[in-house]
Structures are given as structure tokens and as C-alpha cells.
Structure 1
Amino acid sequence: MLPAQCRAGRALIEWTIDDLARASAVTAAVIADFETGRTPVEPASIDAIAAALEHGGVRFIPEGGGGAGVRLKFTRSEVARIATLENEGGIVAEDDV
């Protein structure tokens, strides 16, 4: 994930840096550093940020072809419905890893 993809992904799902910090368990300062390129960020933090954005509905587009980018995986209402279903409890399935 590139810093620009992080910024664009947050914009697509209307998350602030604080929203992403809560979802990824990465501090807002580290996210800001990553997005601006001010200081190097640990790969594990970048992976956590990317995973949180993907869970929020962002799909990352690789650089091959037309260049790196992001798009919505789900609409905002679909993400809300999925979150509701995931929080209902029940038997843990293979897709919950």
C-alpha cells in the first residue's frame, strides 16, 4: 500500500485518521507519518492499516497496468450490514480467521 492509497481509501469510506487508528490499532501519529512520508513506518503497521481499510470496504488496485489505486469493495450500507451480521455471535466459521 502506498501513502496515497491510504489517503484515498480513507476518503472513499469517509474515515478520519482517528477512525483508522481505532480500526487498525495503529496510532494516529504513525498513520499521519505514513500518509505524509515524513518518517519510515514499520511494515507490520502498514499491514494493519491496510487490513483495517479493506475491512472498511476499500479494495486496493495494484500498480500493474494503469497504476496503483483504490476503489470501494462494498457500499457504505453493505459495510454496515456486514458489521451487524459479524457482531451477532454464533459459531465461528472458516472465513472469520
Structure 2
Amino acid sequence: MARAGLGWSAADLGAKAGLARETVTRYESGSTIAPSTIKAMRGALEAAGADFLQISDKVGVAVPGAFQQ
């Protein structure tokens, strides 16, 4: 969600997090990856302005951008 909301490709996120594109796609397809890898991806997304939210049992993300109706 966050990556797409920022308009990033898997390669973009990998580059910004210091990871290979394949690592990003493995994670997105449901493979288990190291917690440090998740932290690196989250850090890159947050640095770009993504805010991760948890309300009760729901998780979401907000990204900067113009809201259009």
C-alpha cells in the first residue's frame, strides 16, 4: 500500500532501503524476511512521508499527496 501510494516501483523501494528489488518482491509475495529488512523498508517509506497507523485491529498507511474527488 505505502509503496504504491508513493508511486514507487519495487526497485525504487529497494534502492531507497538499500535492498535488492527481489527482496521487496519476495516480501510482498508473502515470504518471510528478516526483521531488519522490514525495518529498512519501513524506514525508507517513513522518510518519504508515509505514516503507518493502527486503530484497534486495523492497520493502514497514509501517504502525502493531493486528495482529489
Q: Normalising by structure 2, what TM-score?
A: 0.85
Same amino acid, percent of matched pairs: 26
Gaps of 5+ in 1: 1-7, 77-97
Larger radius of gyration: 1
Q: Give the structure 1 partner of residue 49 of structure 2.
A: 57
Q: For residue 66 of structure 1, report the CA deviation from its aligned partner.
A: 5.6
Higher strand share: 2
Aligned CA RMSD, in angstroms, stands at 1.6
Task: Find 1:18's aligned residue among 11, 15, 20.
Answer: 11
Higher helix share: 1
Runs of 4+ in 1 over 6 A off after TM superposition: none
Q: Normalising by structure 1, what TM-score?
A: 0.62
How many pairs does the alignment contain?
66
Deviations 1:17-62 (A, max 9, x none): 011011000111111111110x210100000000000001110012
Alignment of 1:1-97 (within 5 A): 8-37=1-30, 39-62=31-54, 64-65=55-56, 67-72=58-63, 74-75=64-65
